[in-house]
Structure 1
Amino acid sequence: MIIQQLHDHRVVLVNQSGGNSYTSLNCISNKDSFYRGLTAEESERVHEYNFDHPEAFDTEQLLKCMGELKSGKSVNIPIYDFKNHRRCSESFRKVNASDVIILEGILVFHDQRVRDLMDMKIFVDTDADVRLARRIRRDTVERGRDVNSVLEQNLTRNSAELQYGRFVKPAFDDFVLPSKKYADVIIPRGGDNHVAVDLIVQHIRTKLGQHDLCKIYPNVYVIQSTFQIRGMHTLIRDRDITTPDFVFYSDRLIRLVVEHGLGHLPFTEKQVVTPTGSVYTGVDFCKKLCGVSIIRSGESMENALRACCKGIKIGKILIHRDGDNGKQLIYEKLPNDISERHVLLLDPVLATGNSANQAIELLIKKGVPENRIIFLNLISAPEGIHCVCKRFPSLKIVTSEIDVALNEEFRVIPGLGEFGDRYFGTDN
């Protein structure tokens, strides 16, 4: 249902076992993938073999395939033939590299190595009688067994133990149900729970709509683009715009970035009495806050911060920059109690990331925890994001757009030129 609702080629489904494999968005192929082939001795006593036990699966092969998919490579997924109880030697299912991989199966949470590959873990909670009915239907329709055989295997009372009670139910109790504790989301009623399915679909759509770097670095936030934001970017990037217009539209964009950055600060619940005598439950702003601007361009963002946070303290850092190698600290003036505060680091353009890293290192030396620093800018180059996020993974970056790249002069492309000169009117 998730795949069909998304209807997006950037999403693929991989089956561990026990379900349908989608070879395309519209074509269903009834095949299992990661069961290991039975030995000759196991095949002779197949009715005594427990296909619901973790040892029935080739977890190493699953890890290899998932690792290659996550690294952006296409893979050939094996196909298991339940009539012959071994893998098809000449058949496989090719899965192309995709942005979202949905891995499903009854025991995908059992092995920690498989769990560690997952960004989101969903447990489908279904009643026991429904599970049994589905199992009988699956064995008859998908695995080529006749009804009498299935009933004999699952329900005969002539056997010493019921097949279902001997293998399926114990495996569920011992391996499947305990893995429920690892789930981030638990869905009762499965596909009948349309609300849960819609929420997951919307979550995936949100991820697909993110910039690729936001998928790599969860601490990077790009404010949601609108025609207003796109229009303001068009204006400030125009080399023929007048200085007053450049300042006006830059200030509007900076205000949006600052507001978004403030939304990442901690809040506490607060109740107030309204003029009608009613009680309103809201939130109180973070009190321990300061701004730090990287001179000189960062100073253009101070007015927006002051407009949002009355009386906020603002520190300054000046770093000498010569091409891509400048790391010389020239000047710093910071609040004495900065180690107790959350810091909004201000610089409208993140290019190479070297100046930003120097400023962040200084803040950390002053006692500011890395996770209390939020770096605000208007545009970011991918190189700068890589540089900062790899070194400071707990810091947050908030920007309004991520540009294409840096050129040989270390300027952001398409960029907007020397922001400080254009903003303060010192350009040529």
Structure 2
Amino acid sequence: MAGLPPKRAPSPTSSPVLAPLQTSRQTLIEDSGGAHMSGFHPSTPVTSPSKNPLDQLLTPRSSSFRRRNSTGGPPREPFLIGVAGGTASGKTTVCDQIIQRLHDQRVVLVSQDSFYKGLTPEEHHRVAEYNFDHPDAFDSEAIISCLETLRKGKAVDIPIYDFVTHQRSTEVRKRNAADVIIMEGILVFHEPRVRNMFNMKIFVDTDADVRLARRIRRDTLERGRDVAGVIEQYAKFVKPAFDDFVLPTKKYADVIIPRGGDNHVAIDLIGQHIQAKLGTHDLRKIYPNLYIVPSTFQIRGMHTLIRDRHTTKHDFVFYADRLIRLVVEHGLGHLPFTEKQVVTPTGETYVGVDFAKRLCGVSIIRSGESMENALRACCKGVKIGKILIHREGDNGKQLIYEKLPTDIAERHVLLMDPILGTGNCASYAIELLLKKGVPQEKIVFLTLISAPDGVHKLCTSFPSLKLVTSEIDAGLNDDWRVVPGVGEFGDRYFGTDDDPVPTPVQGNALVI
């Protein structure tokens, strides 16, 4: 059984301690300046980046799209983080705080506890003698398979361990691909094959007395155990296992966090370092005319709902309208303004700004019409034109129908289309506006979701245009559709989808 630990290994005598953060801010910034995306220890050689932005962003098309980060960076593997430490050291708290600081990234948290091996009938009969803190208690092969799958950008089913029956449940938790994958557990650094997969390794170092007090509180309140039993288990298994197996892995850590979740300075630095790594190839650093609405959990939550295939038409329209309003407001912020002084009811002078004059909107029919109401709500009496771009057959000819304000050349134009895929239709629409005499610098293209291909096409072809979007997706599939995307936006918004709407899953509404 796993309750027979080998001879105790000596505790490590030296390690890279972050107390108080000897890994300085400057060191982290310097580490983040390289071209590779693999944290402290690049696992593959770093090649010289191409000087051509297109070569940096686009790759030959294959039978499946390649993942990019949430802000549209080049294809790459996710950033893997391992968080180890003794029982009740605050690992989960540290992980939660890191996730809070990475709110504009897609993050998956995986617990090593999910990979406990199921007990045999004999082991279950003697469960009081079973050492759950021994490395043999975990299924290392399943952990490796899980991380490998996530690293390839694929979804994976995480087992659910039942601590009552000490068996894996028949149910699983599905975890999708993400920009950042965090695995936490007491022994995530013990198995070399698992340890070497992490781009960053964090050890949460907390005083033993504090950990014991937390474990007693947790096990008595959450797991229904008595204090005497918890102390007996701690003395018999937990403390020896910590000294034998957990503490020796401290030397493998890149960063050690004393005091766990209470060390906000350390967690801030870690968050900054990860953001720097993920942002090395941020499209906004390549294209100064690209603007992304700052992400929040509210925005991510609304995106989750409109992307869910089970969301009803009513909910889809409601949350799409909210997102569109945010994009329109952000786009209006990029129009020119003049200083204006007003006198408030208190008799004091307020120095503010005056909105841009002579503005109009142009929607690309038909999905773009979904954005018109948001513009009207923001700009009373605004004129709105329309452009219809139709692909005729397979020969690629474009027939353009338009109805635009006669004085559009004298106006600032907000061009609206909720999905930017290849950028072909948007390019034709922009070229039409240019032919009508509208200068590039007076055009702001508003879209909810963009593919990197379309961003590249617009930003390089029209460098003076401003492109505003709320999220940049992974890429295009073989049907030239944005993925993961939202499907056919116009059909879902206007209710013209030929397929019946699936029955919504209860509880999918966003709680405000």
CA contact (8 A) 1:323 1:409 kept: no
Give the aligned CA root-mean-square deviation in angstroms.
3.2
Paired residues of 1:207 and 1:215 also in contact (CA < 8 A): no
Give the secondary-structure state (helix, strand or coil) at the position aligned to 1:241: coil
| Pair 1:406-2:428 in alignment | no
Based on CA coordinates, which of the two structures has the bigger radius of gyration? 1
- Return closer, same or farther for 1:349/1:325 CA change in 2, 3 Å cut-off: farther
Match status 1:9 vs 2:9: no
> In structure 1, the residue corresponding to 2:351 is in which secondary structure?
strand
**How far apart in 2 are the matches of 1:392 and 1:4?**
37
Counterpart code for 1:333:
K
Q: Is 2:333 aligned against 1:263?
A: yes
Structure 2 CA distance for partners of 1:287 and 1:6, relative to 1, 3 Å = farther
Alpha carbons 2:392, 2:398 under 8 Å: kept: no
Greater relative contact order (CA < 8 Å, ≥ 6 in sequence): 2
Q: Which residue of 1 aligns with 2:5?
A: none
* 1:6/1:205 contact within 8 Å kept: no
Q: TM-score, normalised by structure 1?
A: 0.54
Q: Is 2:392–2:399's contact at 8 Å kept on the other side of the alignment? A: no
CA–CA distance in structure 1, aligned partners of residues 307 and 474 of structure 2: 14
Output aligned runs, 1:294-305, within 5 Å.
Answer: 294-305=364-375
* SS across alignment from 1:11: coil
SS of alignment partner, residue 31 of structure 2: coil
Partner of 1:187: none
Question: Would you say how many aligned residue pairs link Structure 1 and Structure 2?
Answer: 251
Deviation at 1:330, TM superposition (A): 3.6
Task: After TM superposition, give the deviation of residue 9 of structure 1 in Å.
Answer: 2.7
Give the counterpart of 2:385 among 301, 315, 334: 315
The residue that corresponds to 2:78 in the other structure is none
Native 8 Å contact 1:3 1:11 kept in 2: no
Please say if 1:225 is aligned against 2:295. Answer: yes
- Structure 2: any 5+ residue segments left out of the alignment? 1-22, 41-46, 53-271, 499-512
Please tell me whether residue 293 in structure 1 is matched to residue 374 in structure 2.
Answer: no
Q: After superposition, where does 1:203-282 map in structure 2 within 5 Å?
A: 209=279, 212-282=282-352
Equivalents in 1 of 2:402, 2:449: separation in Å?
A: 24
Greater than 6 Å deviation, 4+ residue runs = 204-208
Q: Distance in 2 between matches of 1:226 and 1:422?
A: 24
Q: Does 1:395 align with 2:465?
A: yes
C-alpha separation in 1, matches of 2:281 and 2:50? 17
Question: 1:426 aligned to 496, 500, 506, which one?
Answer: 496
Could you say which residue in structure 2 is the equivalent of 1:351?
Answer: 421
CA contact (8 A) 2:284 2:290 kept: yes
Distance 1:211 1:232, change over 3 A: farther
Query: Which SS does the other structure have where 2:356 is aligned?
Result: coil
| Distance in 1, Cα, partners of 2:369 & 2:375 | 10
Report the 3-state secondary structure (helix = DSSP H, G, I; strand = E; otherwise coil) of the residue aligned with 1:244. helix
The amino acid across from 2:478 in the alignment is E
Q: Structure 1 regions of 5+ residues with no counterpart?
A: 14-23, 26-66, 73-201
Q: 1:378 corresponds to which residue?
A: 448
d(CA) in 2 for partners of 1:5 and 1:253?
39
Q: 1:385 to 1:223 in 2, by over 3 A?
A: same
2-side partners of 1:327 and 1:269: how far apart?
A: 47
CA contact (8 A) 1:324 1:410 kept: no
In 2: Cα distance, 1:206 partner to 1:10 partner: 6
1:334 paired to 2:404: yes
Letter in 1 for 2:327: V
CA 1:70–1:408 in structure 2 vs 1: closer, same or farther (change >3 Å)?
Answer: closer
